[in-house]
Amino acid sequence: MIDIRVLRENPESVRENMRKKFQDSKLHLVDEVLELDSKNRAAIAEADTLRASRNTLSKQVGMLMGQAKKDPSKAAEAEAVKAQVTANAARLAELEAEETRLAEEIRKRMLLIPNFIDASVPIGPDDSCNVEVQRFGEPVVPDFEIPYHTEIMERFHGVDMDAAGRVSGNGFYYLLGDIARLHEAVIAYARDFMINKGFTYCIPPFMIRGAVVEGVMSQSDMDAMMYKIEGEDLYLIGTSEHSMIGKFIDQIIPEETLPQTLTSYSPCFRKEKGAHGIEERGVYRIHQFEKQEMIVVCKPEESMAWYEKMWQMSVELFRSMEIPVRQLECCSGDLADLKVKSCDIEAWSPRQKKYFEVCSCSNLGDAQARRLKMRVRGADKKMYLPHTLNNTVVAPPRMLIAFLENHLQADGSVTIPAVLQPYMGGKTVLVPED
């Protein structure tokens, strides 16, 4: 959510930002907010005038009532002033109700207006216009056929999609044996990797209230992702960054405690609406998965530096597991409404002979802080809004696809890189059971 003062002072900049994001259908919101804001400010001004006159009129009534005891002719004048006080009180109640209504209408529209994108963001309507920035590691296509990832897992008796379908339906899975252990090894390694980077380890709530959901994401993203708990003001998290950022709702953060750097483990739950291609079956796009996440809350002037550090951590993590990756800059039309700048880290798929997304790093500027009423008290005692950032450390189900494809050997075995061996009981290779 942008600062309404910017919209008042430079509405054309807001419209131009919408055009850059190919959201011309939202242009009407600018004029609607300006009109509602004008009415609201007029109502506030009138209400303030009535409040200011209330004490004066009350004193006048008291004075006239006292005079009326000596001079009955003053009684009528006192009654007239009392009638004015009553009328003003009724009008004030109307204005206060109108202020509440108008403020809510303004907020509804402001929540739909996209955040300002950074000047460095490439302009394009959708993800087909995302730009490859750089590659890390040499992508290799082996001289033997690489099976679909669930077929590789099945050779280790490591996945059961059929049983999960019977128990929970499509979009769920059982992981078993060495594959399940590998999943947990990656999570544990990612946890320690981030702790060694100086982040505080966190296990957050896995359900959050509606106010937090509204504060951390756009309405369209919420509808597409979140599962609501029936009869309660609670949602299952789609990613733990939401509950970590939500930790600071309505809080005043001492400036000396910045930056706040947290890394969390959590299960994640997503609707994943829509049809998906063959390569997005198996454990690629699912309703439940586990993830290690990172967030940063920092001073505004430090957020871009943190953005660079965070995506580079993802690259370092995947390269330490001997998986080639690339950085892909997200274009304007592919940015969610709250994001200022974002990039994906994509892993190499030898089977598909292309890269696919495994991490997403985003700078959200002060949008989440404004929505959640997060503030920082500076050394000068003045308040300002911090910036928030998030990045995937690792999401093992999808990461497992990249891992298995890149470490699969011609004989069907899977090598374990040195960084994961301590988490796999010292194993250097996994051998199929059949």
* Domain range list for the chain: 4-110, 127-430
101 is written with which tokens? 């209504």
341 is written with which tokens? 């700048």
Q: Other C-beta atoms within 10 Å of 243: how many?
A: 22
For the CA atoms of 15, 18, 19, 25, the dihedral, rounded to the nearest 10 degrees, stands at: -100
The pLDDT tens digits along the chain (434 residues) read: 899 999 999 999 999 999 999 999 999 999 999 999 999 999 999 998 888 887 676 666 556 555 655 556 666 666 676 677 778 788 889 999 999 999 999 999 999 999 999 999 999 999 999 999 999 999 999 999 999 999 999 999 999 999 999 999 988 999 999 999 999 999 999 999 999 999 999 999 999 999 999 999 887 777 778 899 999 999 999 999 999 999 999 999 999 999 999 999 999 999 875 444 444 467 777 899 999 999 999 999 999 999 999 999 999 999 999 999 999 999 999 999 999 999 999 999 999 999 999 999 999 999 999 999 999 999 999 999 999 999 999 998 889 999 999 999 999 999 999 999 999 999 999 999 76
Which residues, in sequence order, are bridge partners of residue 202? Answer: 264
116 is written with which tokens? 């300002």
How much is the pLDDT for 279? Answer: 47
How far apart CA 375 and CA 415 sit, in angstroms, is: 48
How much is the pLDDT for 433? Answer: 79
Tell me phi and psi for residue 378, to 5 degrees.
Answer: -75, 175
How much is the pLDDT for 275? Answer: 43
Which residues, in sequence order, are bridge partners of residue 293? Answer: 264, 392
- Residue 383: exposure state from Cβ atoms within 10 A (0-12, 13-18, ≥19): exposed
How much is the pLDDT for 73? Answer: 63
Instruction: Answer yes or no: are the C-beta atoms of 358 and 291 closer than 8 Å.
Output: no
Measure CA of the first residue to CA of the last residue in the chain; give whole Å: 55
Pure H helices in 169-258: 177-196, 210-216, 219-225, 241-246
Place of tokens 């939500």: 246
CATH code that applies to domain 4-110: 1.10.287.40
Name the CATH superfamily, with its identifier, for domain 127-430. Bira Bifunctional Protein; Domain 2 (3.30.930.10)
- Residue 28: exposure state from Cβ atoms within 10 A (0-12, 13-18, ≥19): exposed
430 is written with which tokens? 């996994």
Place of tokens 């930790």: 247
How far apart CA 393 and CA 80 sit, in angstroms, is: 71
